[in-house]
């Protein structure tokens, strides 16, 4: 029998945690719960979960900070659970790399649908990235199946968005990509922010790659966009 999908429920309201646990196990998922933010972060980065349900207001460390730190090392799907009056947190959570969010109180059927959707997307990414696939430019190597980037053999820690941006550019090596193309591909069609966000993330990437290793990987094409090339 295949291993059950493991869902980690990070929620300090015992009643909600218990309810989620019962519903998810009824659907055939294996679950674990945690009510403390710091301990939750430790457990998530150990990397044994297939998906995380993450409350925002938690003792120890809040869900946004947990999300930000997890994304430095992992692309495990994260669905944020937010209270109705935390709209700003919702936006922040997505910017920090959460995959989706649910506003409490929510219908369990909708949460189950979103969980299936997040798991499906994750699986598609894994299947499209055969083990051993390498994307390279100069001495930079990305291993999509392992979510890893090295430059000159040294590990580079990227956030989820930085990683997606770099992956998109590597898959289109030598093609100049416009800010609009990048926005659509990396941030999604429904992204409503402005195109400056692309420049901001290119800057983050350059700080971690070009500047740190004193070599040019990402080129600006004035008035058009960006390109990576050998």
* CB of residue 48 to Ca ion, shortest distance in Å: 23
Looking at the chain, list the stretches that DSSP marks H as alpha helix, in order from N- to C-terminal side. Answer: 14-26, 37-45, 63-70, 87-95, 108-127, 160-171, 179-182, 196-206, 212-213
**Which of these, 104, 96, 33, lies nearest to 65 by C-alpha position?**
96
* CB of residue 21 to Ca ion, shortest distance in Å: 16
Looking at 141-195, list the stretches that DSSP marks H as alpha helix, in order from N- to C-terminal side. Answer: 160-171, 179-182
Complex with Ca ion: residue 57 or 176, whichever CB lies closer: 57
* CB of residue 198 to Ca ion, shortest distance in Å: 34
Complex with Ca ion: residue 11 or 50, whichever CB lies closer: 11
* CB of residue 35 to Ca ion, shortest distance in Å: 9
Chain centroid, CA 96 distance in Å: 8
Complex with Ca ion: residue 33 or 164, whichever CB lies closer: 33
**Which of these, 198, 214, 140, 150, lies nearest to 170 by C-alpha position?**
140
* CB of residue 5 to Ca ion, shortest distance in Å: 24
Span of 10-18, 74-82, 163-171, 222-230 interacting with Ca ion by CB under 5 A:
10-18
Q: What angle do CA 16, 21, 24 make, to 5 degrees?
A: 120
**Which of 12, 23, 65, 199 lies at the binding interface for Ca ion (CB under 5 A)?**
12
- State the distance between the two ends of the chain, measured CA to CA, in whole angstroms: 46
Under rule CB under 5 A, which residues in 42-61 are in contact with Ca ion? 55, 57
Complex with Ca ion: residue 14 or 116, whichever CB lies closer: 14
Instruction: Kindly determine how many residues on this chain lie close enough to bind Ca ion according to the rule CB under 5 A.
Output: 3
Binding site for Ca ion (CB under 5 A): 12, 55, 57
């Amino acid at each position: 029998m295949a291993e059950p999908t493991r869902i980690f429920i990070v929620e300090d309201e015992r009643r909600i945690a218990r309810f989620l646990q019962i519903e998810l196990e009824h659907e055939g998922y294996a679950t674990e719960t945690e009510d403390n933010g710091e301990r939750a972060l430790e457990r998530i980065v150990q990397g044994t979960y297939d998906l995380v349900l993450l409350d925002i207001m938690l003792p120890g460390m809040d869900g946004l900070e947990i999300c930000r730190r997890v994304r430095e090392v992992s692309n495990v799907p994260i669905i944020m659970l937010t209270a109705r009056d935390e709209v700003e947190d919702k936006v922040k959570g997505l910017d920090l790399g959460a995959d989706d969010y649910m506003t409490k109180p929510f219908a369990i059927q909708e949460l189950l649908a979103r969980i299936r959707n997040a798991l499906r997307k994750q699986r598609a990414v894994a299947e499209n990235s055969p083990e051993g696939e390498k994307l390279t430019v100069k001495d930079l190597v990305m291993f999509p199946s392992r979510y890893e980037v090295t430059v000159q053999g040294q590990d580079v820690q990227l956030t989820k968005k930085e990683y997606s941006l770099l992956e998109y550019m590597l898959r289109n090596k030598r093609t100049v990509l416009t800010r609009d193309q990048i926005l659509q591909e990396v941030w999604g069609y429904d992204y409503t922010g402005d195109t400056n966000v692309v420049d901001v993330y290119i800057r983050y990437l350059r700080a971690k790659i070009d500047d740190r290793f004193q070599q040019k990987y990402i080129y600006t094409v004035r008035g058009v966009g960006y390109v990576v090339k050998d």
